[in-house]
Amino acid sequence: MASHVLLIEDEPNIAEAIRFILSRDGWQVSTMADGIGAAEAVREARHDLVILDLMLPGCSGLEVLEAIRADPVTEAVPVLMLTAKGQGRDREAAERAGVSRFMTKPFSNAEILASVRELVAR
């Protein structure tokens, strides 16, 4: 059975590109366009990995990450956070909240695939 990735990204072109890259590599990919209900979706579907945009409508990626880490059912799920803002304070806040890996946009197809494979293999 393919590993299941939840992609939470509000930019349709980026979401479709990542979904395509991962699906072509054999991953099952579900998508959400905002952070509202994202932590609950992770809990209910038991995703193997979450790819989470930092800046989301409704509920920030940081808030989603904090909710995932606060829930004993989802606290160990790897989270790859994506952001167009590569500022140090954003990275530090994500690390304090328990992010597994932080990646700035733009990124290469090979980079995202390698990160996803590594995080799920842990």
Q: How far apart are CA 32 and CA 88, in angstroms?
A: 26
The pTM score is: 0.94
Q: How far apart are CA 58 and CA 69, in angstroms?
A: 19
Look at residue 102 in the predicted model and tell me its pLDDT. Answer: 92
**Chosen CATH of 4-121 out of 3.40.50.300, 3.40.50.2300, 3.10.20.340, 1.10.10.10:** 3.40.50.2300
Q: How far apart are CA 28 and CA 77, in angstroms?
A: 16
CB atoms within 10 A of CB 118: 13
Q: How far apart are CA 6 and CA 4, in angstroms?
A: 7
List pLDDT tens digits, range 78-105. 999 998 876 788 889 999 999 999 998 8
List pLDDT tens digits, range 33-80. 999 999 999 999 889 999 999 999 989 999 999 999 999 999 999 999
